[in-house]
Amino acid sequence: MPIRPPTAQDLLTAAAEIGLEIRPDDVDGYLDLARGFIAGHHVVDSLPEGVATPRAPRAPGRRPSPDENPLGAWVTRARVKEYDDGPLAGRSVVLKDNIALAGHPMGGGTGFLADYVPSVDASVVTRILEAGGEIVGKAACEYLSFSGGSHTSATGPVHNPRRHGYCAGGSSSGCGALVGAGEVDMAIGGDQAGSIRTPAAFCGVVGLKPTYGLVPYSGIIPIEVSVDHTGPITATVEDNAILLEVIAGPDGLDPRQQGLELQDYTEALSGDAEGVRIGVLEDGFGLANSEPEVDARVRAAAARLRTLGAKVESVSMPMHVPGTALVMPIFAQGATDLMMANGVPVQTPGLYPPGLAEAFARWREHTGELSELLKALLLVGRILARGDGPRLYARAQNQRRVLRDCYDRILESHDLLLMPTLPITAKPLPPPDAPREEAIRCATEMMGNTAQFDLTGHPAISVPCGDVDGLPVGMMLVGRHFDESTLYRAAHAYEQAVA
C-alpha cells in the first residue's frame, strides 16, 4: 500500500504532539526533509514480507455453533495437521487466540482484530505441527490478554468447566476451560501476570509458565516484551512435559531468548520426590483475600510431598507481597506504549506477522469496546507518560532484579518454593452491566502470588491439589531458572500419589 505523502497539517500536528514549536517559515523546509526521509520507507514497503509461509494451503477454520460451544471457550474450530509421526502424534492442541496460525483469524479477544488473518505461523505452531500434533482451533482469550478473569473477551464470557456461570480464569481462559472439560488434550497459553497458571488453577488442570525466554514468543501478540511468556496447559504433568520438550528452545527470532538451558523434561517423571528440598513460602498464604480452605488444601499437598520423601520446611521472603506492585508501572507504561505503536514492540527485533500492525491500528476506532481494565491502564499510562511514568517504569525494571535476587537466595538452599497458585477459588462471572469497579476487581483479584514470577522469570507450575465445594484449588511450585525438570519431578510425584 503506497505511503501517503505528509502534508503541512500532518507536520504541525506531529509537532504539537511532541511539544515542538515550528515557525511558519520553517514548515516547507521540515516538510521537504520529512518527505526525503519517508522515501526510504517506500523502499521497505516494496520489499517482500520476509517471513516463511506454511507448507501447503489450509482450509479455513469455522466458528462453532452455540451448541458446540457451551463454555464459550472456542473461537474457531480447525483441523491443521502436517505430519503423522512425532511425540505429539494423536494429540489435539488448541491455541490461545493471540497466537498466529497462518490462514486462520487471530482476534486476541477483541472485535477490531476479529477479521485479521495472519499469513505466518508462530514458532510454537511450527514446532507442534512438526512433532505430529493436530491443531484443532483457537481458544477464547481475554481482551488483548489484560485480565485474570474470563469475562472481557469480545466473543463473550468463558465459563468454568466445573461450574457454569463461574470464572474460568484468564487471560488464557478458553485454553483452561477446554482442557479442563476434556475437549482437547493440550493447549498453548500466554502468561504475563499469571495467565497460564490462573485458568489452570481455576479449571483443575496443569499449567506451566516456563522460565522467561525458554519458549519463543515469536508470532504471538505481546503485552510487554520484558514479561511475555508462553507455555503449555494440559490435563496431566506428563503431557505438560511432553509439550514443553516440543516447544522449548531458541528459534533465532525472539530477543527474549538469552542463555537458554534445555533439559529432557520427561526424564524427570520418576514419580519420586525423595530428597527434593521444598520451601513453603509463608508469605504466599494468608493474603488479604485468601480463603482459609484454599490455604488448607495447599498445606495438605505440602504435607503429602513430605510423605513422598521431599524435605519440606517453611521459608519467608518479605518482598513477595509488595513485589506485586512492580507490575503496575511496567504494564501501565510498557503496554500503553505498545498500544500506541499498534501492537509492534519498537526497538525490538523479532518476527512480526504481516498486516498485524495495520489491523491493530483500528483499535482507535473501537475504544468503546476496550475492557474496563485496559481503559484504566491506558489512561494511567498516558497521564504518567507526560511526567513520572518513564522514571517509574525504569525504577520498577531495576527493582525486579532485586526481587529476583530475593527468591534466588532462598533457592540456593531449596530446590522449589511452594504456595497457593491463587488465594481464592473461582467466583461467579460478573454480569455484562456490572459496575466498572466490579469488572476490574474480577479481572485482578487472583494475582497475589502469580505476577511476581513473570517479573523475575522463574519457572512456575500450577498443579491441582483438591477442591473446595467442588471448585478446584491449585498448588504452585516455583523453581530455579531453566530447572523445569525439578518442577516436573515434584509435580508428577504428587500427581501420581493422589491419583
Q: State pLDDT tens for residues 420-444.
A: 999 999 999 999 999 999 999 999 9
Longest dimension (CA), the chain: 82
First to last CA, the chain: 58
Query: ∠228-259-96 over CA atoms, to 5°?
Result: 25
By DSSP bridging, strand 134-139 and strand 92-96 are: parallel
For 344-401, the DSSP string reads --TT--S---TTHHHHHGGGGG-GGGS-HHHHHHHHHHHHHHTTTHHHHHHHHHHHHH
Asked if residue 87 lies in contact with residue 242, where contact means CB atoms within 8 angstroms, the answer is yes
Which long-range contacts link 399-404 to residues 24+ away (Cβ below 8 Å)? Answer: 399/326, 400/326, 400/330, 400/455, 400/456, 402/319, 403/319, 403/323, 403/326, 403/452, 403/455, 403/456, 404/455, 404/456, 404/457, 404/458
pLDDT over 90 at 387, yes or no: no
Confidence of residue 3 (pLDDT cuts 50, 70, 90): confident
Confidence of residue 164 (pLDDT cuts 50, 70, 90): very high
Output the nine-digit C-alpha cell for 21.
514549536
**Catalytic choice (123, 173, 195, 218):** 195
**Catalytic choice (96, 150, 173, 371):** 96
Instruction: Select, from the ranges 18-27, 123-132, 339-348, 381-390, the one with the highest average predicted confidence (pLDDT).
Output: 123-132
pLDDT at res. 97: 98
Confidence of residue 55 (pLDDT cuts 50, 70, 90): low
- Report which of residues 48 and 224 the model is more confident about: 224
Output the nine-digit C-alpha cell for 394.
525504569
**Catalytic choice (123, 147, 171, 172):** 171
To the nearest whole percent, how much of the chain has pLDDT over 70?
Answer: 98
pLDDT over 70 at 8, yes or no: yes
pLDDT over 90 at 453, yes or no: yes
User: Length of the chain, please?
Assistant: 499
pLDDT over 60 at 495, yes or no: yes
Averaged pLDDT of the chain? 94
Tell me if residue 136 falls in helix, strand or coil: strand
Give the DSSP H or E segment for 132: none
Nearest CA-CA partner of 208 in 473, 458, 468, 494: 458
pLDDT at res. 296: 98
pLDDT at res. 2: 67
State the SS3 of 157-222: CCEECCEEEEECCCCCHHHHHHHHCCCCCEEEEEECCCCCHHHHHHHCCEEEECCCCCCCCCCECC
Q: Is 65 a catalytic residue?
A: no
pLDDT over 60 at 144, yes or no: yes
pLDDT over 70 at 1, yes or no: no
Asked if residue 135 lies in contact with residue 95, where contact means CB atoms within 8 angstroms, the answer is yes
User: Which of the residue ranges 84-88, 129-133, 342-346 would you say has the lowest mean pLDDT?
Assistant: 342-346
pLDDT over 90 at 346, yes or no: no
Q: State pLDDT tens for residues 262-287.
A: 999 999 999 999 999 999 999 999 99
Asked if residue 111 lies in contact with residue 131, where contact means CB atoms within 8 angstroms, the answer is no
By DSSP bridging, strand 277-281 and strand 311-315 are: parallel
Per-state percent for the chain, helix, strand, coil, to nearest 5: 40, 15, 45
Tell me if residue 37 falls in helix, strand or coil: helix
pLDDT over 70 at 310, yes or no: yes
Tell me the one-letter amino acid at 469.
D
Q: Is 311 a catalytic residue?
A: no
Tell me the one-letter amino acid at 160.
N
User: Which of the residue ranges 39-48, 152-161, 164-173, 268-277 would you say has the lowest mean pLDDT?
Assistant: 39-48
Q: Is 172 a catalytic residue?
A: no
Directed axis angle between helix 372-385 and helix 389-411, to 10°? 110
Task: Give dist(CA 427, CA 445) in Å, integer.
Answer: 10
Tell me if residue 432 falls in helix, strand or coil: coil
Region 44-73: mean pLDDT is 83
Burial of 367 (0-12, 13-18, 19+ CB in 10 A): exposed
Region 103-116: mean pLDDT is 95
The number of beta carbons lying within 10 Å of the beta carbon of residue 291 is 16
- Cis ω for the linkage preceding 92 (within 30 of 0): no
Backbone phi, then psi, for 39, in 5-degree steps? Answer: -60, -35
Give the DSSP H or E segment for 271: none
